[in-house]
Chain A
Amino acid sequence: MPHLEISDLITVTDPRSGARLPVHRGEVVHRLREAGDRRAARIVAALPADRHDVLDPRAVDRLMIGVHTELQRLSEELRLGERLVHVLGPLFEAVRATVPGPLRLVDVGSGLGYVVRWLAAHGPLGPEVELVGVDLDAALVGEADRLARAEELDCRFVHGNAFDLPEAATVYVSTGVLHHFRGPDLAEFFRAQAASPALAFCHFDIAATRLAPVGAWVFHRTRMRHPLGRHDGVASARRAHTDETLLHAAAAPGMRPLLYEPRGLANPFCTTLRPIIGVRPELEAPLRRALGRAARRLVGPEQLVGAAR
């Protein structure tokens, strides 16, 4: 049975126009029941809908903002910002050595924009890196923008497609987005970046370890209040892609795929999220130099079999 996340089903946006599409509650409930997930079906059945059984978009938006706010707590506790900078710092150092001028980091599927706002608040990448968060969910983008303005943070948020921005990204990043892409969509996601002018990408997602679903259950049980957040948190850990899947999908023409802290090299208690990195081939050597000793945690597809042993 496929593991479905409720949040994927109750918010549907046209990727081209960015327009919100109506979602019929009964259809979502039916789909979840068919997937054998009665608990998720009950959660959706309790959401408010109009007389045509279309989910109330304002109620869904409030729910999504609430769940993402709770979700941010896990990112804070797991020191996601520091975890990112540990890799992004050397990555931007390598990029700066190759490309002069202003740089742009684009966070794909930025949600409430925690990563972008954290980077803006702490400034570890330097002032010449423009920080942009992009998401298809207008409500989340609006809330991210409101939060950034409330704290006067130097970053911006865009509602739309991250690969269709008027100004090109230098580096694409994301956190917790990859497991939402299934089948050919995952490789297509990486191909879109390889085809763009971007020099690198760095996408963090849940490490697909045996511990991940148990850990996700404990943390979402203790830290999140809404049943939707608890459900989706565990489902996302179950949907996490294996190291092999990520490296295979990220092998787009013109990009060198590298996995940081693969399963065979990392302690699953210490590595809850880790990135798949893609760099233009000429950037690999500078990146390894900038990482220093930490470069030993970086493996390409050809090394993965040996590292996993």
Chain B
Amino acid sequence: MTPQDAAPALAGALIALGLVDSAFSGFRAYAGRDARIRKGRAVVRASLRGLAVGGGLLLAPVFTAGAVLLAAADRHRAYAALAEGGIGFLVPLACYATAVLLSLAAYLVLPFRASTLAMVAGLGPLTLLRPLAVAAACAGVLVRGAGVSALLVGAVAGAAVLSVEPLVHRRWYAVPRG
């Protein structure tokens, strides 16, 4: 299978990853702003807000990719370059997402002492490294030799996912509530 053949699946995987990340971003924007003990519904609401904002922002890389294709003299070549770039973008993010999901599973399933390990060695540092994971994804585009247009799409996608948390925070959680 060539990268072009896999392009729809690649795009789907990247969008799915972006949406899951948006839901987590919504949670992070809310966390630490509500001191109640029982807040399951508020967590779900914050995640849905992140999902909604992320869904909107992720249209930006989709439109950018569309514009790149429309503006290209050789659309077949541009499509191939975007597909190559998609692979380069996905691999670092998939590694990062796997580490996050494994840490999260360990945190949720294991007893408190081991869950602390998952938090201290996993989820905490991984949150800090999130912008670096996006940078690595953009570097992955260049490593695959996908060119500047694909890098532009990757950079717009990266900026979109990194914007979700501050936007949700500013819109709904700027003031602590309970």
Contacts and interface: CB of A to CB of B under 8 A. Distances in A.
A99 to B, nearest CB: 28
A270 B31 CA distance: 22
B32 interface: yes
A147 B178 contact: yes
A289 interface: no
Interface string A262-284: 00000101111000000000000
B31 A121 contact: no
A296 interface: no
A77 B123 CA distance: 10
Contacts of B37: 114, 117-118, 121, 151, 153
Given A218-B124, A269-B117, A223 B112 contact: no
A39 interface: no
Interface in A258-309: 267, 269-272
Nearest to A148: B37
B32 A121 contact: no
A118 B39 CA distance: 12
A100 B125 CA distance: 47
Contacts of A218: 124-125, 128
A7 to B, nearest CB: 16
Contact of A150 (B119, B124, B178): B178
B119 to A, nearest CB: 6
A252 B38 CA distance: 39
A283 B139 CA distance: 62
A219 interface: yes
Contact of B116 (A78, A117, A153, A221): A78
4 tightest Cβ-Cβ pairs between the two chains A and B: A73-B32, A70-B32, A79-B112, A82-B112
29 contacts: A68-B35, A69-B33, A70-B33, A73-B31, A73-B32, A77-B123, A78-B119, A82-B112, A112-B35, A146-B178, A150-B178, A151-B36, A151-B37, A153-B37, A211-B120, A215-B120, A215-B124, A218-B125, A219-B120, A222-B127, A223-B32, A223-B127, A225-B32, A267-B117, A270-B114, A270-B116, A271-B113, A271-B116, A272-B116
Interface of A: 65-66, 68-70, 72-73, 77-79, 82-83, 86, 112, 114, 117-118, 121, 143, 146-147, 150-151, 153, 211, 215, 218-219, 221-225, 267, 269-272
